[in-house]
Amino acid sequence: METEQIKQDVLDAAKQLLRTGLVEGTSGNLSARLSDGHVVMTPSSLDYEAMTLDDLVVVDLEGKVLQGDRPPTSEKALHLACLRAHDDIGSVIHSHAMYASMFAITHQPIPCVIEEFDIYVGGEVKVANYELTGSDELGEEVARHVADRGAVLMANHGLLTVGRNIGDAMKVAQLVERTAEIIWGARALGEVVPLPDDTLKRFAPIYKMMRKR
């Protein structure tokens, strides 16, 4: 039952990504760790609206397909690298959120200027070095950035978020995109004022505690 529930959560989250505009068409991909250590992920190039539980793919941590008739997402290396490197990550979401992607293509980090951002994301969202989409090199580069953060921007690509489960990873994706839009708008009004250093120090341990529990 636990496995089936995780699969259902992944499917529901995939459809939510589309409804909330964090992806368009068949872009983006999602994964979650199962209790047996294997990983369920979305398939390659399938419309989210048409996607069913039977379309999801189960792979081992090396990417070997164990269950499913469709090929896994072509960006499976992103997901598996994060899951192999960090035991406290249970889910990975790669989206093409518009405002976050604006930061990604200009190679600008999303600053931590809102308290909840520090609590739920762990600090500013940095930009990972550019590597080719779908490559092992991109997976390794991204994985090192989410050691202590809930999100990372992929240069000239999009946003990747992680969490203990698919719900947590989704909340981070939504928060990062909303904050990116706020920063974009705030810069049109004037200079963005950072949070005080003592505030950042106070909230910094909370993310790590929440992720480890």
- Residue 51, pLDDT above cutoff 90: yes
Look at residue 211 in the predicted model and tell me its pLDDT: 87
Which residue has better confidence, 85 or 211? Answer: 85
Domains defined along the chain, listed by start: 2-212 (3.40.225.10)
DSSP 8-state symbol, 125:
B
Of 96-100, 115-119, 201-205, the least confident: 201-205
Residues 6 or more apart in contact with residue 147 via CB below 8 angstroms:
85, 86
What gap in Å lies between CA 33 and CA 94, rounded to an integer? 15
CA distance to 60, 114, 179, 193, 201, per residue, from 196 (Å): 44, 11, 18, 9, 9
Average pLDDT rounded to a whole number, residues 108-130: 96
- Do residues 86 and 147 make contact, with C-beta atoms less than 8 angstroms apart? yes
What gap in Å lies between CA 69 and CA 52, rounded to an integer? 12
Q: Rounded to the nearest 5°, which phi and psi values hold at 43?
A: -80, 170
Look at residue 1 in the predicted model and tell me its pLDDT: 60
- Residue 212, pLDDT above cutoff 90: no
Strands, sheet with 29-33, edge to edge from the N-terminal-most edge strand: 65-67, 57-59, 39-41, 29-33, 91-95, 158-163, 151-154, 127-128
Which tokens belong to 49?
A: 């609206």
The pLDDT tens digits for 78-90 are 999 999 999 999 9
What gap in Å lies between CA 83 and CA 99, rounded to an integer? 26
Question: Does this model's pTM top 0.85?
Answer: yes
In the block, tokens 């070095």 appear at 129
Look at residue 213 in the predicted model and tell me its pLDDT: 78
The pLDDT tens digits for 142-164 are 999 999 999 999 999 999 999 99
What's the whole-number average pLDDT of the chain? Answer: 96
Longest dimension (CA), the chain: 53
DSSP 2-59: HHHHHHHHHHHHHHHHHHTTS--TT--EEEEE-TTS-EEEPBSS--TTT--GGG-EEE
Look at residue 182 in the predicted model and tell me its pLDDT: 97
